[in-house]
Structure 1
Amino acid sequence: MARLQILELPEGVNDDRPPFILVIDQMPTDETGFDALRRDLGTPDDLLERIGARAVLVFEDTIDIPANDTSVYLRDGEAEEQAEPQRADERAIQAEEKLKAFMEKRYAIELERRASLTDALGVDRLRDWDDIHNAASGLRKQRGTLAKAIERVNNLHRPVEHRGQVICWECSDYDFPGQTTDSPPVLYDQCATLRALDDRQKQQ
């Protein structure tokens, strides 16, 4: 029968409670038992959100975490008291140390990624992933609005051939039916609006 264990991790600067990972061992190997347990636990993402763990590790073998050993308690009819912890198995200690090192490295990578994203988005590094997602969505919406505005400007300041020259339709106040300009013709490559727009896009 599957067991649920908690492996505590070193606390970080911004942790409001001790971080931990959920370790599930003795996982059923038959399909029926595995599906039943998976239905009870839910998806990994849902499980992480509900219990607040950093990760969930699943094993078919037995994983003994020394900190969770309860065999050292005595119950001889007297008041229960904790005995001196038995010497933990060396392999179990090494496994726990490897798990902790792995999670510490993963947590450091996550913090680095979050810092890189928040710097790129121009938001506080202490923001959570929901805030980062909202900032990215807002930036994407803003870029979409800007792209539509640029498209409208390009359509307005479009090139047109006039008397052997390519001029800017809007800056020259071009009159298509009469094929005349109400203002002095402005060469298309000299359009101040498009040149300013091009400089702005390069800066971004």
Structure 2
Amino acid sequence: MTRLQIMELPEGSRDERAPFVLVVDQCPDRWESRAGSGDQLTSHRWREAAQKIGAVDVIVTAETVEIPANELLPVGAFELVGDQAARAANAEDERMREITDALGFDRLQNWDEIVSAIRTQRQVTADGEHMFGEPGYLDPQRCARCGLGRDSWMRQRDTRTCSTVRADAESGHEFRPIGAHDELACLRCRMPRIEWAARRDTPQCDVVRQGGE
């Protein structure tokens, strides 16, 4: 039985839509034609039909032409796709529930707060855990947790994360970019941080100053 199919061709940069060829397969041998071969009247009519629908050419053949893009899904495929979509939606819903539970929000009511919290967390992560511009803090240009200046962080003079700065502070050292190369060194004892971190005993600032005296 004669079939009509569409076979799309590669789309060019100037094409407003993908070009295609009209394929007429399983035709009687006397109808078989392409580029003017076969019955001239039949060929002309197929070409006229192809032009009316915007095809760039027409192929008429007695053979069976299988075009993968035109293959129908087998019976039950739609149900399978539907089940997969449902499982994906349930998994996404479960992940969203875990996120909102972790944030302590009601996902049915507090969407603005949820979005704000996620954006804040993304910014904190991008800022190396630092809390710059925290409302109510003495200096909005310094981290509310460790006191690191935003200018040093933004210019990559001091790329330590907030937790690293706080850990360093527990040793009594106050490491800051010093010198022409912005090397981190303690403002109190002048010990370079790289030297301090390389030592196994990681001496306190007071110990270093006493040893220098």
Q: TM-score, normalised by structure 2?
A: 0.28
Q: TM-score, normalised by structure 1?
A: 0.29
Flag the structure with larger Rg: 2
With CA pairs under 8 Å and 6+ residues apart, which has the higher RCO, 1 or 2? 1
